[in-house]
Amino acid sequence: MSDPYVHGYTTREARRLGDQAGTLAELLHEGTRYPAGAKVLEAGCGVGSQTRFLVEGSPEARFTCLDISSESLAQAEAQAAERGWENLEFVRGDLYDAPFAPASFDHLFVCFVLEHLTRPVEALAGLMRLVKPGGSVTVIEGDHGSCYFHPDGALARRAWQCLIDAQAALGGDSLIGRRLYPLMVQAGAEQVRVGPRAVYCDDSRPAWVEGFVRRTIIPMVEGVREAALAEGMMSPEEWAEGIAQLHQTATAQGSFLYTFFKGVGVAPAA
């Protein structure tokens, strides 16, 4: 089985994921390195947006990239072929029932995946059983409730809330970042340490405004338009104005703050 992906599997979403990964690479991947020969499972690799930075940071490690979507895996494989990477294997499979033997990997990496799952603790616990005792477990998630912006338009806030509500309606949790520590502990991870990774954008940081606000955040909200209108969360006119207000946060008079959470622990003994 698989849980629904609120953002959809469109070409635009694949591009958004790439823009997001590129903008956030240094912030999120700092400190994540794997030694030569290490076997790493990237669970929920999608189109390979994060895979790129895993490989570039640890070029001598061996990566197995797991995802439920054959379309996403095809894009990830195409990226690997284009870049000439030979230390990757792509596997189609369910995160709840991954097709690997216990203790098959030295490390586990999961990024922007648990928020989409109806049973994230169960999924993470199962994935950790695939890691050798003492191997590292890295989990990165956002928290849509950590978002602050200026100008703080009322309809922009409502559009943002639509994103949260649409994901909740599918059984996901876009506020999962704040509970990453207890979630990892409940799943069985040991020596867990979680730290915030905040993104702040204003006119003095134009690359961040462009890469994060205009090309990551706003397209992410726009992606739930049809669901929001179908459920009567906003009218089409309110939605259009809400998106226009969000765009104001990317102007010279605007600012935007969002917090990601990165957790690192170790897999428990069997």
Please write the tens of the pLDDT for every residue from 62-104.
999 999 999 999 999 999 999 999 999 999 999 999 999 999 9
Quick check: 10 pLDDT over 80?
no
The half-sphere exposure of 270 on its side-chain side, counting CA atoms within 13 A, is: 8
| 159 falls within a domain | yes
Answer yes or no: is 105 within a domain: yes
User: Does the pLDDT at position 204 exceed 80?
Assistant: yes
Give the span between the Cα atoms of 171 and 262, in whole angstroms: 22
Q: Indicate whether 111 belongs to any domain.
A: yes
The predicted model gives 245-266 an average pLDDT of 97
- Give residue-wise pLDDT tens across range 109-123: 999 999 999 999 999
Long-range contacts of 231-239 (CB under 8 A, 24+ apart): 231/165, 231/166, 231/169, 233/158, 233/161, 233/162, 233/165, 233/166, 234/155, 234/158, 234/159, 234/162, 238/155, 238/158, 239/155, 239/159, 239/162
125 part of a folded domain: yes
98 within some domain: yes
Q: Give the pLDDT mean for 202-224.
A: 93
Q: Looking at residue 13, what is its pLDDT?
A: 55
4, part of any domain: no
Average pLDDT over residues 45-50: 91
Residue 168: inside a domain, yes or no?
Answer: yes
What range does the domain containing 245 cover? 11-266
Mean pLDDT of all residues in 182-187:
98
Q: What pLDDT does residue 24 have?
A: 79
CATH number of the domain residue 130 falls in: 3.40.50.150
Band (pLDDT 50/70/90 cuts) for residue 11 is low
Predicted model pTM: 0.90
Report the pLDDT value the prediction gives residue 34, as an integer from 0 to 100. Answer: 97
Which pLDDT band holds residue 5 (cuts at 50, 70, 90)?
very low
Residue 1 lies in a domain: no
pLDDT surpassing 80 at residue 168: yes
Instruction: Work out how many domains the chain is built from and give that number.
Output: 1
